[in-house]
Amino acid sequence: MVSLKIKMAHNVIVKLNLLFAFLLFAYQSVDAQNQTSVLQRAGLRSSSYGFSSFPDSAWWNNAPKDMAANFGDSTAPAVIWILGYSADGGCHLSFPNPTPGTSYSKITFSGRDKNEKYLTDFDSNNVKVWLQVEPGFADVSTLIDLVLSKYGHHKCVIGFGVDVEWYKTSSDNNNEGEAVTDDEAISWSNEIKTYNSNYLLFTKHWLISKMPPTFRSDIVFIDDSQIFDKMEDMINEFVDWANAFAPAKVGFQYGYESDKKWWKNLSNPPKDIGDAILKRTTNTAGLYWVDFTAYDIWPKDFNPTSIKRVGKIIPKRFLLKQNFPNPFNPTTTIKYTIPNVAADFSRRITLKVYDILGKEVSTLVNKNQAAGTYTVHFDATGLRSGVYYYRLRAMNFTATKKLIILK
């Protein structure tokens, strides 16, 4: 009898252990599904060919900070600063030859330094900087030495990047660049760290197959894919990229003109796309808006204190959003946007609430407002439960939406 009781007790303990293990696994699985990336850096990509006229230093310090502010105080403003450009099968560096009279195979130089004053300002404004090249058939280790010998003294510099699309590009690789081997990536990473042990390497492409196959230490993999029919397609591809290199850190460039057909309709494209990426990945370390459309988000005279707005961009069309929450009791929030067609002067804006019979019950806004995104809080205390309507009028624009008070 005693033996039987012991056996029964043992069986109970085994079952409890199994139940505990199952619950722990289930909890970890749910926790992993709910986990999001902790973003380290957010900012912009810069090139000499991405702007109609290159921004001044004030813009370059304001815009990355504005981009980073989309993702919280722990996200540092950052820039991918391209200073080596693909040219004639090699690389053209945007600073003078440090050793005049010495020639370097497949490497040419500018007559003047085009980077120093910007990097000095980045130092002062705590903007983190990746120095990137489009190497062509130039030796990457030589490019690393030339670039970091020139600019490695700047505290803003965090590493060196290679755009693999332009690495030994030829018809043999479909003009998409040569795939980087593990040995090459390790060699580049080691070379970078001789200048600063904290420096990181990044390699960039849109094809996973072009990245080092197994090397995952001290490297960031950046995806610059574009030409998507909708945001969901972009996010799905970015998630595949992040999963392919996990647990190594990844980053993303977005905001290309080819995708503007859908991102222009977002209330805040840099943040909305970034939030969607972070929600579905756990190893995203950097988000960068590309220079080609930077002026669409941050005008050339952008100053974060010069315009009152809730979003980070001046919208391009009138928009009245659905209130939230809905139904509600007793308060709800209504957002609307005024486009930049009215950016130079104010327009009379009215936002009113009506009952189901069309009787006005509240005037929320009745004043001149400049372009921007606005938030209004509606307190329905004193009104009965039921269906009501709110209407925005601005210039020749009118929009009406339904809200429900439920007490």
From 297, 330, 358, the end of a domain falls on 297
**Distance between terminal CA atoms of the chain?**
64
Within 10 angstroms of residue 305's Cβ, the number of other Cβ atoms is 6
Structure confidence by residue, pLDDT tens digits, 7-19: 454 454 444 444 4
**Closest of 115, 123, 78 to residue 94, by C-alpha:** 115
Task: With CA atoms as reference, report the closest residue to 161 among 260, 24, 273, 288.
Answer: 288
Q: How many CB atoms lie within 10 A of CB 153?
A: 12
Q: What is the pLDDT of residue 359?
A: 94
The verdict on 82 and 195 lying in the same domain is yes
Task: Check whether residue 286 and residue 341 sit in a common domain.
Answer: no
| pLDDT at 302 (0 to 100) | 82
* Total domains present in the chain: 2
Kindly state the helix (H) or strand (E) to which residue 2 belongs, with its residue range. helix 2-34
The answer to whether residues 245 and 363 belong to one domain is no
Q: What is the DSSP string of 340-387?
A: GGGTTS-EEEEEEEEETTS-EEEEEEEEEE-SEEEEEEEE-TTPPSEE
Residues 62 and 124 both lie in one domain: yes
Looking at the domain assignment, is residue 394 inside a domain? yes
| pLDDT for 341 | 53
90 & 215 share domain: yes
pLDDT at position 315, please? Answer: 57
pLDDT given for residue 338 in this prediction: 83
58 & 142 share domain: yes
Residues 63 and 179 in one domain: yes
- Do the Cβ atoms of 370 and 346 come closer than 8 Å? yes
- Residue 309 belongs to some domain of the structure: no
Sign of CA dihedral 324, 327, 332, 337: positive
Q: Give the per-residue pLDDT at 316.
A: 58
CATH of the domain at 59: 3.20.20.80
Q: How far is CA 329 from CA 149, 207, 352, 388, in A?
A: 63, 50, 18, 13
Q: Would you say residue 204 lies in a domain?
A: yes
Domain boundary among 263, 297, 331: 297
Residues 109, 207 share a domain? yes
Q: Is 226 found in the same domain as 137?
A: yes
- pLDDT at 127 (0 to 100): 97
The CATH number of the domain holding residue 380 is 2.60.40.1930
54-82 as b/e: b if 16+ CB within 10 A: bbeeebbbbbbbbbbebbeeebbbbbbbb
Position 34 in a domain: no
Indicate if 292 and 239 belong to the same structural domain.
yes
Q: Which two tokens stand for residue 4?
A: 């039987």
User: What is the spatial distance between Cα 359 and Cα 343, in angstroms, rounded to a whole number?
Assistant: 32
What pLDDT score does 346 carry?
52
Is there a domain that residue 360 lies in? Answer: yes
Task: Check residue 370 and give its pLDDT.
Answer: 75
Q: pLDDT tens digits, residue range 202-224?
A: 999 999 999 999 999 999 999 99
Do 282 and 400 reside in the same domain of the chain? no
What is the distance between the alpha carbons of residues 259 and 146, in angstroms, rounded to a whole number?
A: 35
- For residues 281 and 365, membership in a common domain is answered with no
Phi and psi (nearest 5°) for 2? -60, -45
Task: Please give the Cα distance from 307 to 310 (Å, whole number).
Answer: 10
Distance of CA 48 to the CA centre of its chain: 20
3-class DSSP state of 389:
strand
* C-alpha gyration radius of the chain: 27
Strands, E, within 103-239: which ranges? 107-109, 128-133, 157-163, 200-205, 219-223
Tell me what pLDDT residue 153 has. Answer: 97
- 14: in domain: no
Token pair, residue 259, equals 């995708």
Which structural domain, as residue segments, surrounds residue 180?
41-297
Question: What is the residue-averaged pLDDT of the chain?
Answer: 87
Using one digit for the tens of pLDDT, what is the confidence trace for 18-40? 444 444 334 333 333 444 567 99
Q: Which residue has the tokens 């992040």?
A: 242
Q: Which residues of the chain have pLDDT under 50?
A: 2, 4-7, 9-10, 12-35, 306-312, 342-345
